[in-house]
């Protein structure tokens, strides 16, 4: 049996905003061109990761064609940077196809957003960010596996700009590299590339060694 329509990006955005509001949170950023949707929200829970440096618990959603992804999101207040933890156990994937009724799709999506909010290990992410301050890696070697899906010229450009920000930040730890990547994401106008850079930031939080693009949830492979 085929249904006439799946959920539109506007409907998905409205559902996401309603669930975030019900959890006491607020949407901080959205992009919706009726084909792609990227939205991020922060929730009423935060944790100190260093002196005068706190991060907020959050949730992010992406809708692209037949796929909807809901991920934990960590927002660093001091730099207004966000990281998407795409490889988290709490990540939820919903298929938005015309072969499933919009009513069933809405129920599935609402449940996925609620579960991502409830099940994510925010305390664990904050603790890993604290530990990242004492971890030191070669920034270029650490980043290169995450950029392997990009055209060589674009990967090189991102690598150079991230390294420039990393050096300017005077924090040679993994935490400094996370901030360099997410600050570049914040300043990137392309919404797909911004999302991909934020997923790299999230991967750097939760992994102690580089993970090739496309591993885990499949989200990293959209870097382009």
CB atoms within 10 A of CB 203: 26
Indicate whether this model's pTM tops 0.85.
yes
Distance from C-alpha of 198 to C-alpha of 143, rounded to nearest angstrom: 13
**DSSP 8-state secondary structure symbol assigned to residue 220:** G
**pLDDT at residue 169, rounded to an integer:** 86
**pLDDT at residue 5, rounded to an integer:** 60
Distance from C-alpha of 49 to C-alpha of 222, rounded to nearest angstrom: 29
**pLDDT at residue 3, rounded to an integer:** 42
Cβ burial, residue 218 (10 Å; 0-12/13-18/19+): middle
Reading the chain (224 residues) residue by residue, the pLDDT tens digits are 334 468 999 999 999 999 999 999 999 999 999 999 999 999 999 999 988 899 999 999 999 988 999 999 999 998 889 999 998 999 999 988 877 888 999 999 999 999 999 999 999 999 999 999 888 888 889 999 998 888 899 899 999 999 999 999 888 999 999 999 999 999 999 999 999 999 999 999 998 554 443 333 445 443 33
């Amino acid at each position: 049996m085929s249904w006439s329509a799946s959920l539109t990006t506007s409907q998905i955005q409205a559902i996401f905003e309603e669930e975030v509001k019900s959890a006491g949170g607020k949407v901080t950023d959205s992009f919706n061109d009726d084909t792609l949707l990227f939205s991020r929200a922060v929730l009423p829970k935060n944790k100190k990761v260093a002196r005068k440096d706190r991060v907020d618990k959050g949730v992010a959603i992406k809708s692209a064609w037949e796929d909807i992804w809901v991920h934990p999101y960590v927002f660093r207040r001091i730099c207004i940077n966000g990281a998407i933890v795409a490889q988290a156990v709490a990540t939820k994937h919903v298929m938005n196809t015309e072969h499933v009724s919009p009513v069933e799709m809405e129920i599935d999506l609402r449940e996925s957003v609620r579960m991502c909010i409830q099940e994510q290990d925010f305390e664990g992410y904050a603790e890993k960010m604290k530990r990242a301050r004492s971890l030191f890696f070669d920034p270029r070697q650490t980043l290169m596996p995450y950029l392997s899906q990009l055209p060589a010229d674009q990967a090189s450009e991102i690598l150079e700009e991230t390294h420039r920000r990393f050096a300017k930040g005077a924090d040679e730890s993994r935490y400094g590299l996370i901030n360099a990547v997410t600050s570049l994401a914040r300043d990137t106008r392309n919404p797909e590339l911004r999302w991909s850079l934020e997923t790299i930031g999230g991967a750097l939080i939760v992994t102690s060694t580089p993970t090739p693009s496309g591993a885990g949830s499949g989200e990293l492979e959209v870097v382009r």
